[in-house]
């Protein structure tokens, strides 16, 4: 049986990832709010020899699909931190600004792109433009700078109490998280009151600090 990828987001990037994975023999499940998203229209129009299904929905549907299908990889193609959103939905977490401030203080300032509502966006190429479908070599082809340590390794060392997942390069410009790693983070979230989660490839990453929602306030 081939490997399964859950692709969340069916826009330009989601469509490109789906096309590539299908061509490599993956089974793909694509979830998007729009049932006529680009991924659905492009892939169905072009035809495919691979197995693909399209499901309408957002983060809640993605969480349900992840739980029921246990995909080998989760491919985030949405403009927000998907792992943090899955954790928040599954375990009633909310953004934790204090945790993000502490995390930012432990990281080199030169890699911080932005900080907003508990989420840090990070990049070795903070001020430049990346090449499309970059293979992410140790020496950046856009800037010529050499980054000997992958960003996911730097984050794991700098934030030892955080759950930092490596975004695997599945193909040119196609990144995904191991399904078993995502499942482990979701299991950890059920046991904690606060949690810092991160995802990163060699060059770019995102870190979000979360805390359990105030249960007293839920009664009002």
Per-residue pLDDT of the chain (220 residues; tens, 9 = 90+): 579 999 999 999 999 999 999 999 999 999 999 989 999 988 877 766 678 999 999 999 999 999 999 999 999 999 999 999 999 999 999 999 999 999 999 999 999 999 999 999 999 998 888 887 787 777 888 788 888 799 999 999 999 999 999 999 999 889 999 999 999 999 999 999 999 999 999 999 999 999 998 743 443 3
Rg of the chain over Cα atoms, rounded to whole angstroms, equals 18
Nearest to 88 by CA among 216, 198, 211: 211
Whole-model pTM: value is: 0.92
Q: Which domains does the chain have, with CATH numbers?
A: 1-79 (3.40.50.720), 81-220 (no CATH)
Q: Give the separation between CA 38 and CA 28, rounded to whole angstroms.
A: 15
Q: Give the separation between CA 97 and CA 102, rounded to whole angstroms.
A: 9
Q: Give the separation between CA 116 and CA 96, rounded to whole angstroms.
A: 10
CB 49 within 8 A of CB 19: no
Q: Give the separation between CA 176 and CA 4, rounded to whole angstroms.
A: 12
């Amino acid at each position: 049986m081939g490997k399964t990828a859950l692709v969340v987001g069916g826009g330009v990037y989601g469509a490109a990832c789906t096309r590539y994975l299908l061509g490599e023999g993956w089974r793909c499940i694509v979830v998007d709010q729009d049932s006529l998203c680009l991924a659905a229209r492009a892939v169905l129009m072009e035809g495919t020899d691979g197995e693909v299904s399209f499901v309408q929905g957002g983060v809640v549907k993605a969480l349900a699909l992840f739980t029921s299908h246990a995909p080998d990889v989760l491919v985030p193609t949405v403009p927000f931190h998907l792992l943090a959103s899955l954790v928040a939905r599954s375990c009633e977490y909310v953004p934790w600004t204090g945790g993000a401030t502490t995390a930012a203080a432990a990281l080199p300032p030169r890699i911080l792109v932005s900080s907003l509502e508990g989420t840090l966006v990070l990049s070795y190429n903070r001020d430049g433009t990346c090449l499309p479908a970059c293979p992410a070599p140790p020496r950046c082809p856009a800037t010529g700078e050499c980054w000997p340590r992958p960003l996911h390794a730097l984050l794991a060392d700098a934030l030892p109490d955080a759950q930092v997942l490596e975004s695997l390069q599945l193909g040119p410009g196609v990144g995904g998280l191991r399904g078993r790693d995502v499942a482990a983070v979701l299991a950890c979230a059920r046991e904690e009151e606060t949690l810092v989660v991160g995802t990163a490839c060699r060059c770019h990453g995102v870190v979000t600090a979360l805390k359990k929602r105030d249960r007293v306030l839920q009664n009002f």
